[in-house]
A and B are shown apart, each in its own frame.
Chain A
Amino acid sequence: MDVVWFVVLSTLIFAIGAAGVMTRRSPLVILLCTELMLNACSLALLAFARMHGSGDGQIFALIVMVVAACEVVIGLGLIVAIYRKRMAIDVDKLSELRG
Chain B
Amino acid sequence: MSPADYGWLVLGFPLLGTLVLAFGWRWLPGRSAGWIGSASILASFISALGALQQLQERPEEERHIESSLFDYADTVGVSVELGILVDPLSVLMMLVVSGVSFLIHLYSVAYMAGDRGYARFFAYLNYFVFSMLLLVLAGNFVLLTVGWAFVGAASYLLISFWYRRETATQAGIKAFVMNVIGDVGLVVGAFLLFDGTEALDYAGVFEGAHLMKDGQLTAACICLLVGAFAKSAQIPLHTWLPDAMEGPTPVSALIHAATMVTAGVYLIARTHPLFELAPTAADVAAIIGTLTLVVAASIALVVTDLKRVIAYSTMSQIGYMVLGVSAFAYGAGLFHLMTHAFFKALLFMGAGSVIAAMGGIQSLDRMGGFRRAMPFTFVTFTIGALALAGFPLLSGFFSKDEIIALTLNRGGFYAVLGVIAYVAALITAFYAFRMVFRVFFGEPVEEARELEQGHLAHHDPANPMTGEHEDPDVGFPGPEHHIAEREWPMKAAMAPLALLSIVGGVVGIPGVTDTLEHFLEPAFEGSDHLGAHPSESDEQLGLAIGAVISLTGIAIAWALYLVRPTTTLRLRDYQLRAVHDFLAHKWYFDELYDIGIVRPAAACGRFGRTVIESVLVQDVIVGGSTAVVRAGSSLARGLQTGYLRSYAALLVTGLAGLALYFLITSS
Contacts and interface: CB of A to CB of B under 8 A. Distances in A.
**Whether chain A touches chain B in the assembled complex (some CB pair under 8 Å):** yes
Interface of A: 18, 21-23, 25, 27, 30, 91-92, 94-99
B643 A95 contact: yes
A40 B637 CA distance: 34
Interface stretch (B265-273, B567-575, B607-615, B645-653): B645-653
B643 A92 contact: yes
B641 A95 contact: yes
Contacts of A18: 648, 652
A82 to B, nearest CB: 13
Contact of A98 (B642, B645, B648, B652): B642
Contacts of A94: 644
B665 interface: no
B382 to A, nearest CB: 88
Nearest to B640: A99
Contacts, number: 32
B637 A99 contact: yes
Interface residues of B, number: 11
A18 B647 CA distance: 12
Nearest to A25: B645
Nearest to A19: B652
Q: Is the interface of A mostly helix, strand, loop or mixed?
A: loop
Interface in B611-667: 637, 639-645, 648-649, 652
A92 B642 CA distance: 8
Contacts of A96: 642
A39 B643 CA distance: 25
Contacts of A92: 643, 645
A2 B658 CA distance: 27
A27 B648 CA distance: 13
A91 B637 contact: no
A30 B644 contact: yes
Given A18-B652, A22-B649, A22-B652, A98 B640 contact: yes
A95 B643 CA distance: 5
Nearest to A21: B648
Nearest to A97: B642
Contacts of A30: 644
A60 B652 CA distance: 23
Q: Which of A21, A22, A25, A96 has the most CB of B within 10 A?
A: A22
Contacts of A97: 640, 642
A10 to B, nearest CB: 15
Query: A-B pairs with the 10 shortest C-beta distances?
Result: A98-B642, A95-B642, A99-B640, A99-B637, A91-B644, A22-B648, A22-B649, A21-B648, A98-B640, A18-B652
A80 B336 CA distance: 101
A22 B649 CA distance: 6
B306 to A, nearest CB: 76
Nearest to A98: B642
